Amino acid sequence: MLEFTDEERLIQSEVQKICENYDNEFWQEKDRNAEYPMEFVQELGEHGWLGTVIPEQYGGAGMDTLEASIILEEIAASGAGFNGSMSCHGAMFIPRSIINYGSEEMKKEILPQLASGDKLLQCFALTEPNAGFDSTAITTRAERNGDTYVINGQKTWCSRIHASDYMVLVARTTPLEEVSKKTNGMSLFLVDIEDAKEQGAIDTAEIEKNIRAAVPSYEVWFEDLEIPAENLIGEEDDGFYQVMDGLNEERVVIAAEAVGLARVAIDRAVKYATEREVFDRKIGANQAIQHPLAEAHARMTSARNITYQAARAFKEGRDVGEAANIAAYMAREAASDATDAAVQTHGGYGVATEYDVERYYREARLTHIAPVSDEMILNYISEHVLGLPRSY
Ligand SMILES: Cc1cc2nc3c(=O)[nH]c(=O)nc-3n(C[C@H](O)[C@H](O)[C@H](O)COP(=O)(O)OP(=O)(O)OC[C@H]3O[C@@H](n4cnc5c(N)ncnc54)[C@H](O)[C@@H]3O)c2cc1C
């Protein structure tokens, strides 16, 4: 079975202490009102957890994907579910672009503000209405004009822009028609959202959907937004490769969150099954209730093992593509199985918001479509692991 070191267990318990301040009613209220849990995110920032992967020299904790996975799993498992873990994973990981590719000046200026939680960079703008999983089809333009880039275009599914000071924007610096390879010609930029508003060059509209509390998502329009040329992150025209570089890490941490969601769903179901009496016996005495929960536990444990195998490989600098993609796939399956079994165990109360399992069920469904769909994960495994021809 999976074993954590003393240091890793300490991280778990420190995060659990913070989570204890936010009870079931808090998360139910946030979900009911579609309200972003800013106070929770701020408290994580005050304790330095938003700076988990930021190097110590820039004020962060200098830890890695492994520790971040532990934190996010514990948040989800505390009862917060995705309302908790998804509200803060962007702030923890979107800064990776700056850590890996930003200039020294940018790192010195921006990272300490993010590590302390004083400023939030938790908005990543890649998807466009006509460019879903085919990111190379984006048309948002960044044109160089002296010391600035001028941005025009539209993004969609921009999550948490309303609670973010900065955004990492992916735009075309060379139009698709002019590149030799469609993956060339895209670049990353740091956008100061307040400055963009002051210029009157950005407009937003929230996308109505469920699961709005942790991941409120927006359509965003840019019209002649001017950003300083030094806000280019990394090399001009290399943005696609810089984005791809972060995908495996994203898959690992979201797998850890899905494992946390599976854990809390199983815990809640077991608790209910040992309390609820029907036909003069606890419902948990029925094998029809036990077996789905036992299966869900077996699947969750197995998903958890591969998730941390991937996280350790990442930390040790080993190739992680296969493990990260399998972890992402197995963890979302485990979350769906566990939340489904938890709803079933609760009978009619499975849909009553006070028992939370209905929310976990909704949240587990999301893992199959975003940030990356089941199909794209299976495409990766087919092509890169099984060596089958690329299908698209
Ligand atoms: C809650 C939420 C938050 C999000 N937050 C952000 C964010 O902050 N920033 C951001 O940039 N994006 C964000 N996204 C976008 C997300 O990451 C996906 O890129 C986006 O949902 C996919 O775009 P689409 O709906 O246009 O899908 P499409 O690309 O139109 O795909 C539709 C379906 O077809 C399948 N499909 C497409 N091509 C293939 C193929 N070749 N083989 C097999 N199946 C295929 C897909 O798997 C999918 O099931 C978010 C999405 C959601 C739902």
pTM of full prediction above 0.95: yes
Contacts of 172 (CB under 8 A, 6+ apart): 138, 139, 140, 141, 142, 185, 186, 187
Q: Which of 187, 208, 238 is the last residue of a domain?
A: 238
Q: Which of 184, 204, 238 is the last residue of a domain?
A: 238
pLDDT tens figures, 222-240 = 999 999 999 999 999 999 9
Answer whether the bond into residue 216 is a cis peptide, omega within 30°.
no
* pLDDT value, residue 227: 98
Using an 8 Å Cβ cutoff, are 164 and 194 in contact? no
Together in a domain, 260 and 358: yes
Together in a domain, 350 and 274: yes
* pLDDT value, residue 136: 96
64 within a domain of the structure (yes/no): yes
* pLDDT value, residue 249: 93
Taking 70 as the pLDDT cut, the residues of the chain under it are none
* pLDDT value, residue 73: 98
- Ligand 1 atom 36: residue of nearest CA: 375
Together in a domain, 41 and 127: no
- Ligand 1 atom 7: residue of nearest CA: 158
Interhelix angle 81-93/38-46, nearest 10 degrees: 50
pLDDT tens figures, 198-216 = 999 999 999 998 888 788 9
* CATH number, position 172: 2.40.110.10
Together in a domain, 256 and 228: no
371 lines ligand 1 (CB under 6 A): yes
Q: Tokens standing for 21?
A: 């301040």
The CA distance from 38 to 32, in Å, is 15
Domain count, the chain: 3
Distances in Å between the Cα of 21 and the Cα atoms of 51, 76, 78 are 21, 14, 10
Nearest-atom index, ligand 1, CA of 123:
8
132 lines ligand 1 (CB under 6 A): yes
391 within a domain of the structure (yes/no): no
Together in a domain, 96 and 139: no
* 135, 136, 157, best to mutate for ligand 1 pocket (most atoms within 8 Å of CB): 157
Contacts of 57 (CB under 8 A, 6+ apart): none
- Ligand 1 atom 13: residue of nearest CA: 157
How far does residue 84's CA lie from ligand 1's centre (Å)?
22
- The SS3 assignment for 252 reads helix
146 within a domain of the structure (yes/no): yes
The CA distance from 298 to 330, in Å, is 11
* pLDDT value, residue 213: 77
* pLDDT value, residue 263: 98
How far does residue 130's CA lie from ligand 1's centre (Å)?
11
* pLDDT value, residue 130: 96
* pLDDT value, residue 210: 81
> Which range of residues forms the domain containing residue 283?
243-385
The CA distance from 65 to 177, in Å, is 37
